[in-house]
Amino acid sequence: NFRKWDIWQGIEFGQSKPQARRVKFSDVAGIDEAVEELQELVRYLKNPELFDKMGIKPPHGVLLEGPPGCGKTLVAKAIAGEAGVPFYQMAGSEFVEVLVGVGSARIRDLFKRAKVNKPSVVFIDEIDALATRRQGIFSESTNYLYNAATQERETTLNQLLIELDGFDTGKGVIFLGATNRMDLLDPALLRPGRFDRKIRIRPPGAKGRLDILKVHARKVRMSPSVDLSTYAQNLPGWTGAKLAQLTQEAALVAVRNGHESILQSDMDDAVDRLTVGPKRVGIELGHQGQCRRAVTEVGVAITSHLLRRYENAKVESCERISIIPRGQSLSQIVFHHLDEESYIFERKPQLLHRLQVLLGGRAAEEVIYGRDTSRASVKYLEDATCLARKILTIWNLENPMTIHGEPFPWKKKASFVGPRLDFEGSLYDDYGLIEPPINFELDDRVARRTEELLHDMYEKTITLLRNHFAALLKTVKVLLDNKEINGDQIEFIIDSYPAETPVNLVL
Ligand code: ADP
């Protein structure tokens, strides 16, 4: 049963599958450069004879490289869709069989079919599974199964190379491969005449994410009141696949809530579902627990708002806070992300402000409860400690305190058996250094400075929050009453309760 390729649209054998809507370039967003480059293939597929007449050689193969879920398969389908030609798809892993000869037979068959129905597009996903670097002489292993599998893979790969080389005879077939592990590919595959072109499919940036969201919003009933750009901005690292999942999830939530179309609240719920998990019913924090949670989250949020407002800090503002337990977490805070450039060139003042924001949770607890602090703010404290250490060491923004370039005594020692310590405290084995020596003196200095830095920033944050005690209390109160609060409400509260407002006005 090895003729199971996804024969898209059922062109094969004249099957009368219902015609699925063909993917077009308009379904692909956020990877404009790649699409631009691939347009040429479409032009070729539409009229291969013209290219022939003009003496233009089409590319043999195009390798799409990039992380999963960024649209490699989608864009390959779109090429076939735009040109109106059949699309043959298989995954590299499907060729890898232990049964001898099956993999190469599949390759032969796949290419034969594509040639018969040319012009056409052949797409092999995860091509790295099939075309990993061949091992050469060192793969000699006593393990029989290992050898059989490796040999089989190599035969399959050789067959693929033969097909690619003999491609001139099958003009009119475009061969596309996709991988996210370029480094694993056998160099033979990348030689000219095989994969002539490599196109990187990058994960989308903020603008790309917005374009992708717009594409997928067209496929569901999205209320026009939903501001897609905030989601694009606040979901860094989300791929096209994840964003597609988001709109689907939001549609489900909307149906569950009995809404006619997807509302902002449905989108928020969907984001939370995909990030932390669904709401947990039945789990109710006690009042005390909820208060602590609310105080720490509000402390972090309000510190960022105050710093932005009064110290012109370049830190994220708070988008919303929720103290409804979800998945593993008892409360959530969502930040409004800055534009991507601000992260690349973070400078010392910005990093210190960020540190203050993280310390805001514990500071708020102390301002409200005095020294009786709880575990609620521990996660933020851990993050703060980590950040402070980085500021001092990796980014080296304090005194010039070198941790890189320590003169490690890196010499190979005479051969012994097993790892051993040398006089400077380095760990060696027969092949060289395993661990550099520990510099206890430097370690102490970093620890001391980290503590000092944290302490200084903490004092500043405490002062800030004491000044705005009324706003802090009011925000906590609103959050406790509604279980949720958003950034605009926080801004409004800060406006209404300026610094030094007497607390009795709140209560
Ligand atoms: P890959 O092949 O890179 O792993 P896919 O092409 O299979 O990713 O993407 C899976 C799904 O995610 C697509 O069917 C599409 O719905 C969505 N998607 C991914 N990237 C994009 C994009 N750039 N534009 C629009 N949708 C996308």
The mean pLDDT value for 274-292 works out to 77
Query: What's the 73 CA to ligand 1 centre distance in angstroms?
Result: 7
Q: Which residues are catalytic?
A: 297
Ligand 1 nearest atom to the CA of residue 29, by list position = 24
Share of the chain above pLDDT 90, in %: 38
Query: What's the 28 CA to ligand 1 centre distance in angstroms?
Result: 8
Instruction: Tell me which residue has its CA closest to atom 18 in ligand 1.
Output: 240
> Which class for 245: exposed (0-12), middle (13-18), buried (19 or more C-beta within 10 A)?
middle
pLDDT exceeds 70 at position 264: yes
The mean pLDDT value for 125-137 works out to 70
**Does the Cβ of 78 fall within 6 Å of ligand 1?**
no
Instruction: Tell me which residue has its CA closest to atom 7 in ligand 1.
Output: 73
Confidence of residue 3 (pLDDT cuts 50, 70, 90): very low
Tabulate helix, strand, coil % of the chain (nearest 5).
55, 10, 35
Q: Residue 19's pLDDT is what?
A: 45
Write the pLDDT tens digit of every residue in 320-332.
Answer: 999 888 877 888 8
User: Quick one: tokens of 248?
Assistant: 């689907």
Q: Residue 479's pLDDT is what?
A: 95
Query: What's the 175 CA to ligand 1 centre distance in angstroms?
Result: 19
Of the listed ranges 69-73, 121-125, 409-413, the least confidently predicted one is: 409-413
The Cα–Cα gap between 324 and 290 comes to 9
**Does the Cβ of 70 fall within 6 Å of ligand 1?**
yes
Instruction: Tell me which residue has its CA closest to atom 6 in ligand 1.
Output: 71
The Cα–Cα gap between 439 and 424 comes to 9
**Does the Cβ of 213 fall within 6 Å of ligand 1?**
no
Q: Residue 433's pLDDT is what?
A: 55
The mean pLDDT value for 273-289 works out to 75
Cis ω before 407 (30° cut-off from 0): no
Query: What's the 421 CA to ligand 1 centre distance in angstroms?
Result: 51
The Cα–Cα gap between 174 and 170 comes to 9
Nearest to 77 by CA among 118, 113, 126, 122: 122
Q: Residue 404's pLDDT is what?
A: 42
The mean pLDDT value for 407-413 works out to 37
**Does the Cβ of 30 fall within 6 Å of ligand 1?**
yes
Query: What's the 242 CA to ligand 1 centre distance in angstroms?
Result: 9
pLDDT exceeds 50 at position 6: no
The Cα–Cα gap between 172 and 400 comes to 62
**Does the Cβ of 242 fall within 6 Å of ligand 1?**
no
pLDDT exceeds 50 at position 410: no
